[in-house]
A and B are shown apart, each in its own frame.
Chain A
């Protein structure tokens, strides 16, 4: 059995709701829908809609405090990212192959308008070689089976691969999300570099100027 799930995140449909009194930020992709959360840590929940199952959004409790700690990741190239963001959507594909018991998650940015035309025109030229790096080399670590895919030479994160998924998948996903959180709060964690890059790649998609205005 093999499957491939694809979900598209169009950033023009992303909505932020910030409650400055409770210091709670809700981020939704599209209108609010009944959902159940996956609690990553007590300040961060990933909301999954009940029907049909899909990524509904994030809830960050204590956002002002968290925001102050992680804002620095994207500050230096903020304007460039924001200009690009308005013309971009993110396609996330999740593939599982039972022959190799491997789960692959890939992130692909899609461009709109003339940028998409240019992308298609030069598609071959834009194809980049990539490498897989193990997230942890410790034999007892569940992250031992997690690999991040990076383009060369820019080393941009474009995907994640988990081997022996039926055996180690849940622990690997837990470890992986935990490593991302640690890369924000405890930057000396063992698997910091790749976890930091992934966290940065996701964080960089947020509209920081708008968030800044919301919490001001």
Chain B
């Protein structure tokens, strides 16, 4: 059963079971944190367009602690080219360059 969540702009984002299985097979640290991923869609601190690929939406949410993984981590959720389905997710500890253009919240 796919998870469908709405982001702050009203967009409905889909996380299929198949996609989640693929994500956790490559990023096993996320296995206990599916809800955290969905929360990053529902309540992100920022939604961006990709710098090199503006058609790709990126959601970012910061956490002071992700149990068993580390402190001060950001969750990045990438949508696919269809702008609806989640393509991949991972945790970042440090970002060298800013994400692309901020599309939400609008300034």
Give chain A's interface residues, CB within 8 Å of chain B: 17, 19, 21-24, 26, 28, 32-43, 45, 47-48, 50, 59, 61-62, 65-66, 174, 177-178, 181, 185
Contact = CB atoms under 8 A, between A and B. Distances in A.
B107 interface: no
A42 B97 contact: yes
B93 A43 contact: no
Contacts of B29: 34-36, 50
Contacts of A32: 25-28
Contact of B26 (A26, A41, A65, A66): A26
A63 to B, nearest CB: 10
Given A22-B87, A50-B69, A62-B52, 7 more contacts: A17-B26, A19-B22, A35-B27, A39-B92, A40-B96, A43-B53, A65-B53
A66 B51 CA distance: 12
Contacts of B9: none
A66 B22 CA distance: 21
A36 B70 contact: yes
B73 A174 contact: no
B35 to A, nearest CB: 18
Interface string B77-107: 0101100011110111111110110000000
- Interface hub of A28, A38, A42, A174 (most chain B Cβ within 10 A): A42
A174 B52 CA distance: 18
Contacts of A33: 28
A39 B53 contact: no
A24 B68 CA distance: 26
A35 B50 CA distance: 23
Contact of A36 (B26, B78, B91): B91
A174 B97 CA distance: 8
Ranked 7 nearest A-B pairs via Cβ: A22-B87, A34-B29, A39-B95, A36-B93, A62-B53, A26-B26, A24-B88
Contacts of B53: 43, 61-62, 65
A19 B91 CA distance: 19
A39 B88 contact: no
Given A43-B52, A61-B56, A65-B53, A23 B97 contact: no
Contacts of B48: 42
A47 B69 contact: no
A178 B97 CA distance: 8
A42 B52 contact: yes
19 contacts: A19-B87, A22-B80, A22-B86, A23-B87, A24-B87, A24-B88, A35-B29, A36-B91, A36-B93, A37-B76, A39-B95, A41-B52, A42-B48, A42-B100, A43-B50, A43-B51, A59-B26, A61-B53, A62-B50
